[in-house]
Amino acid sequence: MARIATKAPARKGAPKKTPVKKSAVPKAAVPKAAARKGAGQKAARKPRAKAFHVSLGNNGKVIECARHETVLHAALRAGIDYPYACATGNCGTCISKLDDGKVSMLPRNDTSLTPEQEEAGQTLACRARPRSDLAITWLGRGRK
Ligand code: FES
């Protein structure tokens, strides 16, 4: 009768694992500040990205929008029921009137915002990132 091996045979020449004792790490290697409970969390935090104020003409609310986020994203994060469908610049649902301020636009489908609309001061909230404080009014569905 054949015996079934329950343990893998030790490889020849493989280094033997040695358990690392906690005391094996010299105390001097750990700075005192890092050894404190919770230390390092404060230092690891990144400073907040510059945020702009976005005033929404539809409901009079003012939200914060970071430089790197779109007006739509900031509005949704703030719990505003901003009209949108694709959030990728393809449908035009989030079309808005930029009443004041400056935005930079992410790539979008030219049919969702024509050059004439852009010249008339309209923008897509899902593609617009603030470059100053803004005043904006969505033109889509009549949500408040
Ligand atoms: S949500 Fe579709 S273009 Fe902005």
Q: Please give the tally of structural domains in the chain.
A: 1
- How do residues 69-114 score in pLDDT, each as one tens digit? 999 999 999 999 999 999 999 999 999 999 999 999 999 999 999 9
> Which residues form the domain of 114?
51-138
Residue 140 is predicted with a pLDDT of: 75
User: Rounded to an integer, what distance in angstroms lies between the CA atom of residue 103 and that of residue 30?
Assistant: 47
Q: Residue 39 corresponds to which tokens in the numbers above?
A: 């230390």
Handedness of CA 131, 137, 143, 144 (dihedral sign): positive
Task: Report pTM.
Answer: 0.66
Please work out whether the CB of residue 82 comes within 6 Å of at least one atom of ligand 1. Answer: no
On whether residue 35 sits in a domain, the answer given is no
What pLDDT shows up at residue 41?
Answer: 54
Radius of gyration in angstroms for the set of CA atoms belonging to the chain, rounded to a whole number: 28
- Looking up residue 80, the CATH number of its domain turns out to be 3.10.20.30
The predicted pLDDT at position 50 comes to 87
pLDDT tens digits for 25-60? 555 544 454 455 555 555 566 555 689 999 999 999
> Which residue type does 74 have?
A
Is 59 inside a domain boundary?
Answer: yes
Please tell me the distance between residue 139's alpha carbon and the centre of ligand 1 in angstroms: 12
Ligand 1: centre distance to CA 58 (Å): 18
pLDDT of res. 143: 43
Please check whether residue 33 lies inside any domain of the structure.
Answer: no
